[in-house]
Amino acid sequence: MTIIVDGKKIADEIENKIKKEILRTKIVPSLVSVLVGNDKPSKRYAKLIQRASARVGIHFEIYKFPENIPEKELIDSISSLNKKDSVDGILLHVPLPEDIDERKIFSSINPEKDIEGVHPLNRGKMYMGIEDPVPCVAEAVIRVLNRYNVEICGKDAVVIGHSNTIGKPISALLLNRNATVTVCHEYTKDLRKYTEKADIIVSATGVKDLIREDMVREGAIVIDVGRDIDFKNVSKKVSLITPPFGGIGPVTVSILMEHTYKLAKKKVI
């Protein structure tokens, strides 16, 4: 029987724990989302974060900037947020406009307020096995696997997608847990050759129905980050799968709440 991951349930558990901690410690964390341009998925994500923040008791603000903002002005604005004691966490929504160097903007975030582990210092720590903090999507994947007692050590894992914010971090966290990891992407010539033998598949491309039933083996674990899986047919064959809605998404947002609280708590201790 296939287990369908209940991401909402996991997220509720995490949020309830954070809410209780905020009430107990009387720490009121503050999170700022930096939104550049009019990317619709980023706007939707910001709204989900806003709702989650209200549920758990986190102060949340959105700083919106026009798509044509000069790179230096954006960096100066983030530097200003870095200096504000009232701001515990900074989240930069991507993608950014093409004329802005994402790496420069990530590097401008104070590592101690880097809610997603995107600063080069925090990213380097992650590759050394120090996961504090790491991108929330990547952590959500690991949390889901752990929650359902999926053994990672020694397993053959295929990660599809090699973005700096999702694919690469997921690969790193799996490697940190001693999986044998293969990373595939848009230039991989024969994707099926890799997926059909994998114990664990994590797909994060945003390509609808990229992973079909004939591409996975019986009993595999399939984690859908980009709504890439032909859920109706693949779910008949695998042992565990995340649904296209209510899977990794809610868990990601709840972990963002958790990271914000942890950063706020560090300032007090």
Which superfamily does CATH assign the domain made up of 26-115 to?
Leucine Dehydrogenase, chain A, domain 1 (3.40.50.10860)
Of the pLDDT bands very low, low, confident and very high (cuts 50, 70, 90), residue 267 is confident
List pLDDT tens digits, range 193-249.
999 999 999 999 999 999 999 999 999 999 999 999 999 999 999 999 999 999 999
CATH 3.40.50.720 fits 136-249, yes or no: yes
**Segment 43-73, tens digit of pLDDT:** 999 999 999 999 999 999 999 999 999 999 9
Cα 163 to the chain's mean position, in Å? Answer: 12
Of the candidates 64, 44, 52, which has an alpha carbon nearest to the alpha carbon of residue 260?
52
Is residue 35 within 8 Å of residue 42, measured between CB atoms?
A: yes
* Residues 102, 172: Cα–Cα separation, whole Å: 20
Looking at the chain, the domain(s) classified CATH 3.40.50.720 span 136-249
Parallel, antiparallel, or unpaired for β 89-92 and 30-36? parallel
Tokens for 264, please give them: 């706020």
Compute how many other C-beta atoms are within 10 angstroms of the C-beta atom of residue 143: 21
What is the rounded average pLDDT for all residues in the chain? 97
Q: Which residue has the tokens 């050394």?
A: 128
Listed in sequence order, the residues at least 6 apart from 25 whose beta carbon sits closer than 8 Å to its beta carbon are: 265, 268
pLDDT at 269 over 80: no
CA-angle at 149, arms to 143 and 152, nearest 5°: 75
% of the chain surpassing 70 pLDDT: 100
pTM: 0.96
Residues 69-94 have pLDDT tens digits of 999 999 999 999 999 999 999 999 99
Predicted local confidence at residue 211, as pLDDT: 97
Where in the chain do CATH 3.40.50.10860 domains reside? 26-115
